[in-house]
């Protein structure tokens, strides 16, 4: 981590001293603390509160949320179609046998369960 301050030489000297101090403190912290503690300390140095720092999602976590949301929406629509087909209330004729749609729904449901388990383990909020 390096702080850069634009300005006169005295400000540059202060920034250099501050950078040295930060590096020294981080080095001491690294010897004694876990990576999570170091991240929390850096967040504290940067003025981020715990809630702010913990609510920022990594790009893969956002992709996981989007994937889950899209899959869940499609899963529900597919099940609506299956239910309507079984009750003879579907407004169109199925192009494939219903057992294939049921098999697809089962696979989608299993995949949703896997995504939910991963999200729980990785602390990714879903919907």
Domain coordinates in residue numbering, the chain: 9-55, 59-122
pLDDT value of position 57: 85
What's the token pair of residue 107? 């696979």
pLDDT value of position 29: 59
Q: What is the distance between the alpha carbons of residues 43 and 99, in angstroms, rounded to a whole number?
A: 53
Most confident range, picked from 31-40, 49-58, 101-110: 101-110
Choose among 107, 111, 81, 83: nearest CA to 94: 81
Within 33-97, where are the H helices? 35-46, 50-55, 59-86
pLDDT of 69 above 70: yes
Choose among 58, 74, 66, 63: nearest CA to 108: 74
Segment 44-52 mean pLDDT = 58
Q: Per this entry, what is the length of the chain?
A: 127
């Amino acid at each position: 981590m390096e702080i850069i301050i634009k300005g006169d030489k005295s400000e540059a000297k202060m920034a250099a001293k501050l950078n040295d101090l930060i590096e020294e403190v981080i080095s001491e912290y690294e010897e004694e603390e876990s990576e999570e503690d170091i991240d929390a300390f850096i967040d504290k140095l940067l003025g981020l509160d715990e809630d702010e720092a913990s609510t920022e999602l990594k790009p893969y976590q956002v992709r996981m949320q989007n994937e889950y949301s899209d899959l869940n929406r499609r899963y529900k629509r597919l099940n609506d179609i299956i239910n309507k087909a079984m009750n003879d209330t579907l407004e169109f004729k199925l192009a494939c046998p219903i057992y294939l749609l049921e098999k697809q729904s089962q696979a989608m449901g299993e995949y949703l369960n896997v995504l939910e388990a991963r999200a729980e383990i990785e602390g990714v909020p879903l919907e």
